Amino acid sequence: MLKDHFRPQSFNGIDDIVIVGGGLAGLFCALKLAPRPVTILAAAPIGHGASSAWAQGGIAAAMSPGDTFEKHVADTVTAGAGIVDEKMTRMMVAEGPARIHDLLEYGVPFDRDLEGKLLLSREAAHSERRIVRVRGDMAGKAIMEALIAAVRRTPSIRIIEGYVVEELVREGRFISGVVARPDAGQSKTRVSFPARAVVLCSGGIGHLYAVTTNPWEACGQGVGMAARAGAIIADPEFVQFHPTAINIGKDPAPLATEALRGDGAVLVNSAGHRFMLDIHPDGELAPRDIVSRGVFAEVQAGRGAFLDCTKAVGKHFPEMFPTVYASCLAASIDPVTQPIPVVPAVHYHMGGVLTDGQGRTSIDGLWAAGEVTSTGVHGANRLASNSLLEAVVFAARIAESIKGTLPAPKLTEWGDDAGENDDPVTVEDSPPFKVLRSLMSECVGVVRTRESLTRAIREIAALERANNRLRFANIITTAKLIAVAALQRTESRGGHFRADCPSERPEWQRRTYLTLAQAERLAAEVAETEPA
């Protein structure tokens, strides 16, 4: 059933701009486009299917007296392991404070000190305190609640919930609309939405893996759709694992925020040994990829890994980190007195649809923002809390780009002439999807090898041959792009670690650009070789 939350003057049945996804990037872009008519298509009830709502850390912005844009850029470049686009990063960092003030105007209750100034904290690999938070670990939830309220007050924005976008419609050089399936993707009919501009804000790829902190909607459909429409995909091999997902068997895995380590919590194994000091001089505050591999090694060795907050946070845990505290209590763990069992989990994808400084993709009529994109600002390893910053900065730039490119709205009727009408499927419960998630975790996970990646590509091809579902085709396309790019990159850099090529190589100090056609050729070459 179509759920439309707007007043009678909303633009029922007609579209000028369609935004795919109701997370931070999509909502912020819609607000920046107002009063231009916009339709947001969201797979889940607004705010519930977005990774943004689950973000615990906050937004990074150089706003403290001792901080500078140059320091923020330098930290981002260092974390990105040599392939950060510095020009894009400088632009993002310079516009950060203005976007923070936008969020304040939309009602986001960022933490303040006794003088009313924004309270800034520090996270891993940041040289200064520059993380703007809400009640310690509730930034994502609070930001989304404020933006949802602002969107609902804006009559030019229409939200249609429970519509899973399955296809980008391409006519010649242009994307001319989307095709979506109602009823949370369970309807037997599909609806077409013609549009002059499509903004893809569909989120990440976490649920391609068996252990993730992301909601199930983040399963790579947006990247796959864009690739199938002909868009260039950048850096798909770079997948960031959060080192401290709470290891209690839940899917998605609850997150023990980076801020805990920023406030002094330490990682220990079952013997109580603080193992990160053996690996990196920054210990628990080393870049996420290094901490993830440290935690992974302890878990694989059977020693387990635990985040000990008892001394650094102790009795203040409930009020300082209420979200993490509630997750722990639900699993009968008291983090005030007990270490928290942790495991690496897929948390963020640095790769995605290639975009420029205005959020334009390689196909006319298609813009993109948020985790579905690869702007180049994260390089091979995202700096903590830069993702929400990236989402709002580029969402605002997309709004300006669309206003400049398409100065006058042109409204188009939409209807049911949606072409393919296959039977719906609940993707997250299907056996092929479960097989794919296990395969990606085992073969394209924290540690990769040529052998594991070759196996992944062959098994992905087998799953593709057996598939007749459009939605799963989008998902498996993204998995193939990640695996092929990971096999191509014969080095270790940032979130991409090859046990058989453990060092960085100078010839690979560059970004990856890949089309689906190129990935399919490379996958076919793998299929033709004999298994090891």
Written as one string, the DSSP assignment of 256-300 is --HHHHHTT-EEE-TT---GGGGT-TTGGGS-HHHHHHHHHHHHH
For residue 8, what pLDDT is reported? 25
Least confident of 106-120, 128-142, 202-216, 231-245: 128-142
pTM comes to 0.91
Domain termination site, one of 344, 365, 381: 344
The Cα–Cα gap between 127 and 81 comes to 16
Tell me whether residue 104 is in a domain.
no
What CATH number is attached to the domain comprising 339? 3.90.700.10
Q: Based on the structure, what is the number of domains in the chain?
A: 2
Please report which confidence band the pLDDT of residue 7 belongs to, taking 50, 70 and 90 as the band edges.
very low
Q: Quote helix, strand, coil % in the chain, to nearest 5.
A: 40, 20, 45
| pLDDT at residue 424 greater than cutoff 70 | no
| pLDDT, position 2 | 36
- 272 pLDDT more than 60: yes
Tens of pLDDT, residues 331-375: 999 999 999 999 999 999 999 999 999 999 999 999 999 999 999
499 found inside a domain = yes
Q: Is residue 105 part of a domain?
A: no
User: Which residues participate in catalysis according to the annotation?
Assistant: 288
pLDDT at 289: 85
Out of 344, 377, 407, pick the residue that ends a domain.
Answer: 344
Token code pair at residue 20: 């795919």
Residue 530 has pLDDT above 80, yes or no: no
pLDDT for residue 3 = 39
- Phi/psi for 39 (5° steps) reads -115, 125
- Domain containing 314: what range? 243-344
CB 346 within 8 A of CB 239: yes
User: Is the link from the previous residue into 424 a cis peptide, with omega within 30 of 0?
Assistant: no
Percent of the chain with pLDDT over 70: 92
Is the pLDDT confidence value at 384 over 50? yes
Residue 409's pLDDT is 82
In a domain, 222, yes or no: no
Question: Element (H or E) spanning 345, and its range?
Answer: strand 340-349
Mean per-residue pLDDT, 282-296:
91
Q: 361, 398 in Cβ contact below 8 A? A: no
State the chain's mean pLDDT as an integer.
Answer: 91
How far apart are the C-alpha atoms of 7 and 240, rounded to whole Å? Answer: 41
Residue 122 has pLDDT above 90, yes or no: no
Angle between helices 470-488 and 450-466 (to 10 degrees): 160
**Residue 148 is inside which H or E element, if any?**
helix 139-152
Q: Last residue of a domain, which of 322, 344, 366?
A: 344
Q: Is 273 contained in some domain?
A: yes
If pLDDT is split at 50, 70 and 90, which confidence band does 6 have?
very low
